[in-house]
């Protein structure tokens, strides 16, 4: 019997989720809030591009490090190869010295500045994105709560208990207020994040 009850509840929830997603729930708060949808789409675009840019900044840092190491190895190998073939030339020593200087001095200095001015700020900026994702998920949950409160009110209005109807109305007002507060905050804050 418990399995059957759980199955009925799951099917009922799935149906109400589909009605809510299609806008057929009859609520005044539509899941297709065009202003929020626009901001969410802009946020998703920013999130995708920001994460890609963060990965590219990390890859660039690795590429620079790899290039300087390869330059130094090339200079060492070239010097060893040319020692067997001919007398060492001044330009060979100068190239090896320059490659060693780049690898041991310039690259670490570049790396330090790059981390502080590019990588850390980019990582900090991308660190805000999960918080917005949590808020967007919470908005969806609050929207579902509003739909649930509306259904509960409709159910109670069919009964003669005035106290239950009043309690259901208060629950609906609270759910709508929580939803509207978060929805407005997201509509206000997403453009600030995008424009920062």
Summarised one tens digit per residue, pLDDT across range 7-57 is 445 545 544 444 444 444 444 454 568 899 999 999 999 999 999 999 999
Q: Please write the tens of the pLDDT for every residue from 84-133.
A: 556 667 777 788 888 888 888 888 899 899 999 999 999 998 888 999 99
Taking each helix axis from N to C end, the angle separating 34-85 and 129-157, rounded to the nearest 10 degrees, works out to 160
pLDDT at 175: 92
Query: Is the CB of residue 102 less than 8 Å from the CB of residue 66?
Result: no
Nearest to 187 by CA among 71, 38, 64, 16: 38
pLDDT at 176: 93
Which of 12-21, 79-88, 139-148 is modeled with the greatest confidence? 139-148
CB burial of residue 99 (10 Å; 0-12, 13-18, 19+)? buried
pLDDT at 93: 77
pLDDT at 196: 79
pLDDT at 28: 47
The dihedral over CA atoms of 10, 11, 15, 18, expressed in degrees to the nearest 10, equals 60
pLDDT at 52: 93
The more confidently predicted of residues 60 and 26 is 60
- Sorted by sequence, the CB contacts under 8 Å of residue 82 that are 6+ apart come out as 88, 89, 92
Secondary structure of residue 117 in the 3-state scheme: helix
DSSP 137-179: HHHHHHHHHHHHHHHHHHHHHTSS-HHHHHHHHHHHHHHHHHH
The more confidently predicted of residues 185 and 22 is 185
**Residue 180 confidence class, pLDDT cut points 50, 70, 90:** very high
What is the model's pTM? Answer: 0.66
The more confidently predicted of residues 26 and 185 is 185
The more confidently predicted of residues 120 and 196 is 120
């Amino acid at each position: 019997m418990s399995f059957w009850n759980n199955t009925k509840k799951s099917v009922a929830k799935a149906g109400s989720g589909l009605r809510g997603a299609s806008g057929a729930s009859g609520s005044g708060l539509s899941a297709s809030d065009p202003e929020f949808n626009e901001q969410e789409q802009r946020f998703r675009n920013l999130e995708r591009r920001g994460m890609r840019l963060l990965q590219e900044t990390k890859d660039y840092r690795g590429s620079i490090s790899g290039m300087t190491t390869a330059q130094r190895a090339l200079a060492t190998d070239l010097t060893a190869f040319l020692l067997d073939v001919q007398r060492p030339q001044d330009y060979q020593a100068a190239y090896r010295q320059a490659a060693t200087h780049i690898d041991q001095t310039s690259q670490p200095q570049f790396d330090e500045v790059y981390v502080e001015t590019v990588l850390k700020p980019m990582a900090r900026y991308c660190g805000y994105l999960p918080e917005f994702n949590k808020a967007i998920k919470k908005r969806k949950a609050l929207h579902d709560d509003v739909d649930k409160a509306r259904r509960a009110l409709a159910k109670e209005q069919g009964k003669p208990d005035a106290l239950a109807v009043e309690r259901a109305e208060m629950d609906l007002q609270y759910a709508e207020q929580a939803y509207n507060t978060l929805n407005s905050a997201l509509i206000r804050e997403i453009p600030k994040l995008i424009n920062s």
